[in-house]
Amino acid sequence: MTKLTHRLARVLETLARALRRYSRDDGKVLILGGVRSGKSHHAERLASRHPHLTYVAPGLPPSAEDPEWAARVAAHRARRPSHWKTVETTDLATVLRTATHPLLIDCLGTWISRVLDEVGAWDQRKGWERRLDDRLEDFLAAWEQADVPVIAVSNEVGSGVVPATVSGRVFRDVLGALNNRVSAVSDRTVLVVAGRMLDLP
């Protein structure tokens, strides 16, 4: 093989890798990371190449009662391009099923926290486990069926200490199990640590 053909083969291989990655980014992408790891920044950079995008915020709306949370929400809003549409909802399944443009969901951790509240997990209302399972299965089915590019951000909760409270352990276990299942049916899973991105095979 001549130097020229060898160089051409390397260029073609690099192009093929880029095309494979591009097509995976056009599918379903799960981005995991700890608090302040940079996972949302990475998701927003990945999503920014789409000319039309819906940003799905399933967390609690900001309120004067929690200024720290309000400041976090404000920082996220300030980073979003003005042409992005924002939807604030916990009905992720319906959003996934009706989407006509790419989606960025940020994040599954805040969504799970609200869903646990909605199904009565925190006060142990009878039947909360079944109601939770129904919500999760509905979301997972919609995730698999989505025919637009979707990026979901989620907290990696399996590396820290065991939570001291029952509610903390329930949240960790439910979100950890959900992350596993979403990752299994995603085209790409990325772990973000200290601002560095690692593709998980």
- How far apart are the C-alpha atoms of 35 and 74, rounded to whole Å? 17
- Is 130 labelled a binding residue? no
* 76 catalytically annotated: yes
- Is 117 labelled a binding residue? no
- Is 23 labelled a binding residue? no
- Is 184 labelled a binding residue? no
Q: Out of 6, 41, 42, 76, which one is annotated catalytic?
A: 76
- Is 88 labelled a binding residue? yes
- How far apart are the C-alpha atoms of 76 and 59, rounded to whole Å? 12
- How far apart are the C-alpha atoms of 154 and 157, rounded to whole Å? 9
Concatenated DSSP letters of 128-147: HHHHHHHHHHHHHHHHHH--
- Is 33 labelled a binding residue? yes
- Is 127 labelled a binding residue? no
- Is 73 labelled a binding residue? no
3-state helix, strand, coil in the chain (%, to 5): 50, 15, 35
Give every CB contact of residue 165 below 8 A, 6+ residues apart in sequence: none
Question: What positions carry a catalytic annotation?
Answer: 76
Residue ranges of the binding site for GTP = 33-40, 57-59, 77-80, 88, 106
Annotated binding residues: 33-40, 57-59, 77-80, 88, 106
